[in-house]
Amino acid sequence: MFKKILIANRGEIALRIIRTCKELGIPTVAVYSEVDRDSLHVVFADEAVCIGPAPSNQSYLKIPNILSAAQITGADAIHPGYGFLAENAEFSEICADSNIKFIGPSADSIRKMGDKAFAKETMKKVGVPVVPGSEGVVNDVEEGKKIAKHIGYPVMLKASAGGGGKGMRIVWKEDELEKAFQTASNEANAAFANPALYMEKFVENPRHVEIQIIGDQFGNVYQYGERDCSIQRRHQKLIEESPSPFITSEIREKMGEAALLGARSVNYEGAGTIEFLVDRHRRFYFIEMNTRIQVEHPVTEMVRNIDLVKNQILVAAGERIEDPPKDPRGHAIEFRINAEDPQNNFRPSPGQIEYLHFPGGFGVRIDSHVYNEYVIPPNYDSLIAKMIIWGTDRPHAIRRARRALEEFKIEGIKTTIPFHQKVLESEKFIEGDFDTSFIDQHINLNS
Ligand code: MV4
């Protein structure tokens, strides 16, 4: 097992990782920027090293500073969390070259899955269903027109180096394609230094359902069922749950098998997520793979009764992990509490928390790094707490969530709590009848 783990992250996920390290008896090193000096991950780690000023590119993204912190403290492994360097192939490679175990996949896996057109072709080859579209990248407008004619409009152009909704364009008819191709390609080049695009048939109002997997160093891959992440706004997830109210046990089994097929084919090591779009006929299509632990991982932990971060650490150390339970137990829903104003376009609302009270009781889990009088810096993402509710079934989880949100008090800043309360009153949400257009279509925050 590792002698000491450095956590190359901040906020709730850094604390989440430290908690599991403590339970495993592994000493931890926190790194922090100048504005995070009073953050809880710094308090609860065994050691802490300041790695630079507030801007991420001078601290949490600065590879030499993080490696120096690991070397000075004698850490033999680095957990990257999510965001920052978690899907940075170069960082994974540099760690390997420095004899520090990157708790995550190899640089090669990160690169392959980061190239979305390549990842899709890889999955298609082994029989994972994918959205009909181009074979790999589309080289020019003329080729794009041919493919679109074949699969039928509307189509989507996506940046091959993108993902998570960045650099996408819907094209409704042929005479829009040229312009869309140029602007999407230019945007992709500006954002990812790579103009390559691929094309897919546009799936209208899909659900977003993903499968959690973990691969070990012996070639075994395990799957932990699905999470439904359809409640999003501008590609920011706000509510995630498991099991998905739309997925039957038959589809669950098929998606799980498809995810295993895909992950095994690339010899995947570490935790990962296979993302699918699900159309109204419950047909599912692979869209991309995330090569990190995700924000919403606790939803899976609650219904499968496992610690995913523990399993990440075990496989990284070359150990074996237990077989996952075959079926979900009960129902879990995660609510992201962001320091944002839902009445003003979810505008960030940093500043000091003047009063804080977390809910509690049976089935209520809070993952958070904030405390009373904590000052939320404006430099990072606005997630300040995750409330994960477990219930015996979905209606029970919903009732419990309403009860817990009523107890939840945060003063001094705006949060997404009132948004969640609205969603929990929505008939469509209660019935489980929602897709990725739910917030735009059914939630009015100013009424
Ligand atoms: C799509 C799509 C419709 N058709 N692909 C957005 C994020 C990225 N991971 C993939 N996304 C989409 N890809 C095809 N062929 C619609 C979306 C999409 C979406 C997907 C999941 C969750 C929310 C979404 C919101 C808008 C669009």
Is 14 inside any structural domain?
yes
Q: Are 228 and 247 in contact (CB under 8 A)?
A: yes
Q: Are 17 and 309 in contact (CB under 8 A)?
A: yes
Return the pLDDT at 183.
94
Which of the following is catalytic: 16, 252, 292, 336?
A: 292
Q: Of all helices (H) and strands (E), which one includes residue 86?
A: none
Amino acid at position 267, single letter: N
Is 115 inside any structural domain?
no
- How far apart are the CA of 250 and the centre of ligand 1, in A? 24
Instruction: Please choose, from the candidates 100, 104, 87, the residue with its C-alpha nearest in 3D space to the C-alpha of residue 17.
Output: 104
**Is ligand 1 within 6 A of the CB of residue 202?**
yes
* Mean pLDDT of successive 10-residue stretches along the chain, which has 447 residues: 98 98 98 97 98 98 98 98 98 98 97 96 97 97 98 97 86 97 94 96 98 98 98 97 97 98 95 98 97 98 98 98 95 98 98 98 98 98 98 98 98 98 98 96 90
Same domain, 268 and 385: yes
Distance from C-alpha of 276 to C-alpha of 281, rounded to nearest angstrom? 14
**Is ligand 1 within 6 A of the CB of residue 439?**
no
Q: Are 289 and 276 in contact (CB under 8 A)?
A: no
How large is the greatest C-alpha to C-alpha distance in the chain, in angstroms? 62
Give the number of domains in the chain. Answer: 3
Which residue has its alpha carbon closest to ligand 1 atom 10?
A: 165
Q: Calculate ∠ Cα 94-59-349, nearest 5°.
A: 135
Cβ burial, residue 145 (10 Å; 0-12/13-18/19+): middle
Amino acid at position 83, single letter: G
Same domain, 73 and 214: no
Q: Are 184 and 171 in contact (CB under 8 A)?
A: no
Return the pLDDT at 164.
76
Active site residue 292: yes
**Is ligand 1 within 6 A of the CB of residue 206?**
yes
For 120, list phi and psi in degrees, rounded to 5.
-65, -45
Return the pLDDT at 163.
82
Same domain, 435 and 290: yes
Domain with residue 294: its CATH number is 3.30.470.20
**Is ligand 1 within 6 A of the CB of residue 200?**
yes
Same domain, 197 and 313: no
- Its domain, for residue 148, covers 132-201
- How far apart are the CA of 165 and the centre of ligand 1, in A? 6
Return the pLDDT at 166.
77
Q: Select from 170, 201, 232 the last residue of a domain.
A: 201
Same domain, 273 and 351: yes
Q: Of all helices (H) and strands (E), which one includes residue 171?
A: strand 166-171
The helix, strand and coil proportions of the chain, stated in percent and rounded to the nearest 5, come to 35, 30, 35
**Is ligand 1 within 6 A of the CB of residue 232?**
yes
Partnered with residue 337 across adjacent β-strands are: 385
Return the pLDDT at 105.
98
Return the pLDDT at 3.
98
Same domain, 144 and 260: no
Return the pLDDT at 447.
78
- How far apart are the CA of 88 and the centre of ligand 1, in A? 23
